[in-house]
Structure 1
Amino acid sequence: MRKVLTICLGNHCRSPFAALALARRGAAELEVRSAGLIGKWAGEPANESMITAARRLGLDLTAHRGRQITLEMLSWADGVLAMDTAVLETLRAICGAANERKLGLYLGDGDVPDPMGQGQEAFNACAVLIEAGTALHVDQQ
């Protein structure tokens, strides 16, 4: 089973939803966890607007509690998926060259826009984009 870690800035909306969406699509082949670069929302539930967006897509994000990334989490993962380029660059600085091979962008060549500070429609659009991105990481044969 492949171990995947999704990372965003605060583990408050994008990365927890990505972990949930990946786990649903790849349950037989993936173990997925999420974390954030900063600990501002550590121990806190996901953003209410992302919980609502997840619910619209048939996923329940209410059990999520934020976590800040640790070196142990990075060691655990076979693959680390950053939600945007800024997060990826920070991860490169944290991980060093030895772990470069396990780092990548969730969407492959583009960023998942951060909906924080925006309305419900931005969260809904973000969730749809993240769910569509699961196809990049889960083999559906």
Structure 2
Amino acid sequence: MRKLLTVCLGNHCRSPLAQVALTRRGGPAVTVRSAGLIGKWQDHPANPSMINAARRLGLDLTHHRGQQITRQDLDWADDLLAMDAAVLDTLHAIDDGRDAQKLGLYLPGRDVPDPVGQDESTFHDCAVVIEAGTALHIGPHRPKSG
């Protein structure tokens, strides 16, 4: 079974949406977790606007509770998928070169913009991009992360 970890800044919007979208696409062949670099949203539900955006795509984020990334998360995952370049840079620093081959952007060569502070349509657009990105990681033609 493949183990994926999606990571954003707070585990409040982007990485939780990626977790449920990848889980739906991958089914029993994958286990997906999400985490954030900061603990501000630890044990809190996902952002209400992202919950609504997820619902519009047939995804359920109502059970999500924020988690801050740990060394155990890094060790657990086969692939760590950062939502943007700043998150990826921080993951490289945290990882200290141990598992650099496991680290990559969720969208290779492109950030998933953080919708925090934006309107509902921005959250929806973000969710659509994340959901479409699942094909890059689960499916017959997925590239290796890195």
Q: TM-score, normalised by structure 1?
A: 0.98
Name the counterpart of 1:40. 40
The CA deviation at 1:140 is: 4.9
Equivalent positions of 1:65-104 (< 5 A) are 65-104=65-104
Alignment root-mean-square deviation, CA: 1.0
Name the counterpart of 2:63. 63
The one-letter code of the counterpart of 1:120 is: E
The one-letter code of the counterpart of 1:76 is: W
- How far apart, CA to CA, are the structure 2 residues paired with 1:59 and 1:104? 24
Equivalent positions of 1:1-141 (< 5 A) are 1-140=1-140
List gaps (5 residues or longer) in structure 2: 142-146
The one-letter code of the counterpart of 2:32 is: V
The CA deviation at 1:28 is: 3.0
- How far apart, CA to CA, are the structure 2 residues paired with 1:29 and 1:91? 25
Q: Which runs of 4+ in 1 moved over 6 A?
A: none
Q: In structure 2, the residue corresponding to 1:32 is in which secondary structure?
A: strand
Q: In structure 2, the residue corresponding to 1:4 is in which secondary structure?
A: strand
Q: In structure 2, the residue corresponding to 1:127 is in which secondary structure?
A: helix
The CA deviation at 1:108 is: 1.2
List gaps (5 residues or longer) in structure 1: none
The CA deviation at 1:139 is: 1.1
- How far apart, CA to CA, are the structure 1 residues paired with 2:53 and 2:74? 28
Q: In structure 2, the residue corresponding to 1:40 is in which secondary structure?
A: coil
Q: TM-score, normalised by structure 2?
A: 0.95
- How far apart, CA to CA, are the structure 1 residues paired with 2:33 and 2:112? 18
- How far apart, CA to CA, are the structure 1 residues paired with 2:128 and 2:140? 18
- List per-residue Cα deviations over 1:50-109 (Å, max 9, x = no partner): 000000000110000000000001100010000000000000000011210000000111
Aligned residues: 141
- How far apart, CA to CA, are the structure 1 residues paired with 2:100 and 2:29? 22
The CA deviation at 1:43 is: 0.3
